[in-house]
Structure 1
Amino acid sequence: MACRLADSMFLLMGPHQKTIPMQKIAAHYSPGTSHLKWDSLLVRGIKHQPCLNPRRKVQLVQAVAAPFSSSPADTAEYRKQLSESYGFTQIGESLPENVTLKDVMDSLPKKVFEIDNVKAWKSVLTSITSYALGLYMISKAPWYLLPLAWAWTGTAITGFFVIGHDCAHKSFSRNKLVEDIVGTLAFLPLIYPYESWRFKHDRHHAKTNMLSEDTAWHPVWEEEFDSSPALRKAIIYGYGPFRPLMSIAHWLIWHFDLNKFRPNEVKRVKISLACVFSFMLIGWPLIVYKMGIMGWIKFWLMPWLGYHFWMSTFTMVHHTAPHIPFKSSEEWNAAQAQLNGTVHCDYPRWIEILCHSINVHIPHHISSRIPSYNLRAAHKSLQENWGKYLNEAKWNWRLMKTIMTMCHVYNKEQNYVAFDQLAPEDSQPITFLKKVMPDYA
Structure 2
Amino acid sequence: MAARLVDWRFHLMPPQPQALCSSRLLQPNSPDLRWKGHMYKGIKSKQQFFRTKRIKTVLAVAVPVPSPHRDIAEERKQIAKDYGFTQIGERLPENITLKDVTESLPKKVFEMDAVKAWKSVFISVSSYALGLWMIAKAPWYLLPLAWAWTGTAVTGFFVIGHDCAHKSFAKNKLVEDIVGTLTFLPLIYPYEPWRFKHDRHHAKTNMLSEDTAWHPVWREEIESSEVLRKAIILGYGPFRTWMSIGHWLLLHFDPKKFKPAEIKRVKISLACVFVFVVIGWPLIIYKTGIFGWFKFWLMPWLVYHFWMSTFTMVHHTAPHISFKHSDDWNAAHAQLGGTVHCDYPRWIEILCHDINVHIPHHVSPRIPSYNLRLAHRSLQENWGKYLNEATWNWRLMKTIMTTCHVYSKEHNYVSFEEIAPKESKPIAFLRRVMPDYA
| Coarse TM-score class (shorter-chain normalised) | 0.7 to 0.9
Matches within 5 A, 1:349-368: 349-368=346-365
Matches within 5 A, 1:28-177: 29-31=27-29, 33-34=31-32, 48=36, 66-67=43-44, 75-177=72-174
Instruction: Tell me, yes or no, if the aligned pair for 2:28 and 2:89 is still in contact at 8 Å.
Output: no
Q: Runs of 4 or more off by more than 4 Å in structure 1?
A: 68-74
CA deviation profile, 1:267-325 (whole Å, cap 9, x unmatched)? 00000000000000000000001111000000000000000000000000001000000
User: How far has the Cα of 1:391 moved from its partner?
Assistant: 0.1
Question: SS at 1:248's partner residue?
Answer: helix
Question: SS at 2:407's partner residue?
Answer: strand
Say whether 1:287 aligns with 2:284.
yes
CA deviation profile, 1:35-58 (whole Å, cap 9, x unmatched)? 6x7xxxxxxxxx6358xxxxxxxx
Instruction: Tell me, yes or no, if the aligned pair for 1:32 and 1:67 is still in contact at 8 Å.
Output: no
Q: What is the match of residue 336 of structure 2?
A: 339
Q: What is the match of residue 17 of structure 2?
A: none
In structure 2, C-alpha distance between the alignment counterparts of 1:349 and 1:423, rounded to whole Å: 40
In structure 2, C-alpha distance between the alignment counterparts of 1:240 and 1:79, rounded to whole Å: 27
Q: C-alpha root-mean-square deviation of aligned residues, in Å?
A: 1.8
In structure 1, C-alpha distance between the alignment counterparts of 2:356 and 2:186, rounded to whole Å: 22
In structure 2, C-alpha distance between the alignment counterparts of 1:28 and 1:104, rounded to whole Å: 24
Say whether 1:192 aligns with 2:169.
no
In structure 2, C-alpha distance between the alignment counterparts of 1:67 and 1:386, rounded to whole Å: 19
In structure 2, C-alpha distance between the alignment counterparts of 1:87 and 1:217, rounded to whole Å: 20
Amino acid at match of 2:27: Y
Q: What is the match of residue 317 of structure 1?
A: 314
In structure 2, C-alpha distance between the alignment counterparts of 1:345 and 1:33, rounded to whole Å: 24
In structure 2, C-alpha distance between the alignment counterparts of 1:77 and 1:199, rounded to whole Å: 43
Matches within 5 A, 1:230-379: 230-379=227-376
CA deviation profile, 1:139-194 (whole Å, cap 9, x unmatched)? 01111100000000000000000000000000000000000000000000000000
Question: SS at 1:186's partner residue?
Answer: helix
Q: What is the match of residue 411 of structure 1?
A: 408
Instruction: Tell me, yes or no, if the aligned pair for 1:195 and 1:272 is still in contact at 8 Å.
Output: yes
Structure with bigger gyration radius: 2
Question: SS at 1:393's partner residue?
Answer: strand
Question: SS at 1:392's partner residue?
Answer: strand
User: How far has the Cα of 1:77 moved from its partner?
Assistant: 1.4
User: How far has the Cα of 1:424 moved from its partner?
Assistant: 1.1
Question: SS at 1:416's partner residue?
Answer: strand
Question: SS at 1:439's partner residue?
Answer: coil
CA deviation profile, 1:341-379 (whole Å, cap 9, x unmatched)? 000000000000000000000000000000000000000
Identical residues among aligned pairs (%): 75
Task: Tell me: CA distance 1:292–1:34, structure 2 relative to 1, closer, same or farther (3 Å).
Answer: closer
Instruction: Tell me, yes or no, if the aligned pair for 1:131 and 1:157 is still in contact at 8 Å.
Output: yes
Extract unaligned runs of 5+ from structure 1.
Answer: 1-26, 38-46, 51-60
User: How far has the Cα of 1:29 moved from its partner?
Assistant: 1.9
Amino acid at match of 1:48: K
In structure 2, C-alpha distance between the alignment counterparts of 1:77 and 1:344, rounded to whole Å: 21
Q: What is the match of residue 222 of structure 2?
A: 225
Amino acid at match of 2:31: T
In structure 1, C-alpha distance between the alignment counterparts of 2:336 and 2:306, rounded to whole Å: 25
Q: What is the match of residue 382 of structure 1?
A: 379
Question: SS at 1:75's partner residue?
Answer: helix
Instruction: Tell me, yes or no, if the aligned pair for 2:32 and 2:411 is still in contact at 8 Å.
Output: no
Instruction: Tell me, yes or no, if the aligned pair for 2:402 and 2:427 is still in contact at 8 Å.
Output: yes
Instruction: Tell me, yes or no, if the aligned pair for 2:26 and 2:43 is still in contact at 8 Å.
Output: no
User: How far has the Cα of 1:259 moved from its partner?
Assistant: 1.0
In structure 2, C-alpha distance between the alignment counterparts of 1:434 and 1:28, rounded to whole Å: 26
Task: Tell me: CA distance 1:278–1:75, structure 2 relative to 1, closer, same or farther (3 Å).
Answer: same
Say whether 1:391 aligns with 2:388.
yes
Amino acid at match of 2:79: L
In structure 1, C-alpha distance between the alignment counterparts of 2:280 and 2:371, rounded to whole Å: 34
CA deviation profile, 1:47-98 (whole Å, cap 9, x unmatched)? 6358xxxxxxxxxx996x6226789799221111000000000000000110
Amino acid at match of 2:173: K
Amino acid at match of 2:36: H
CA deviation profile, 1:196-253 (whole Å, cap 9, x unmatched)? 0000000000000001100012111111111111110001000000000000000000
Higher relative contact order (CA 8 A, sep 6+): 1
Question: SS at 1:344's partner residue?
Answer: strand
Amino acid at match of 2:317: T
In structure 2, C-alpha distance between the alignment counterparts of 1:353 and 1:31, rounded to whole Å: 31
Tell me which of 157, 175, 180 is aligned to 2:177.
180
In structure 1, C-alpha distance between the alignment counterparts of 2:419 and 2:265, rounded to whole Å: 43
Instruction: Tell me, yes or no, if the aligned pair for 2:30 and 2:322 is still in contact at 8 Å.
Output: no
Question: SS at 2:422's partner residue?
Answer: helix
Q: What is the match of residue 437 of structure 1?
A: 434
In structure 2, C-alpha distance between the alignment counterparts of 1:372 and 1:214, rounded to whole Å: 22
In structure 2, C-alpha distance between the alignment counterparts of 1:397 and 1:62, rounded to whole Å: 26
Amino acid at match of 1:377: L
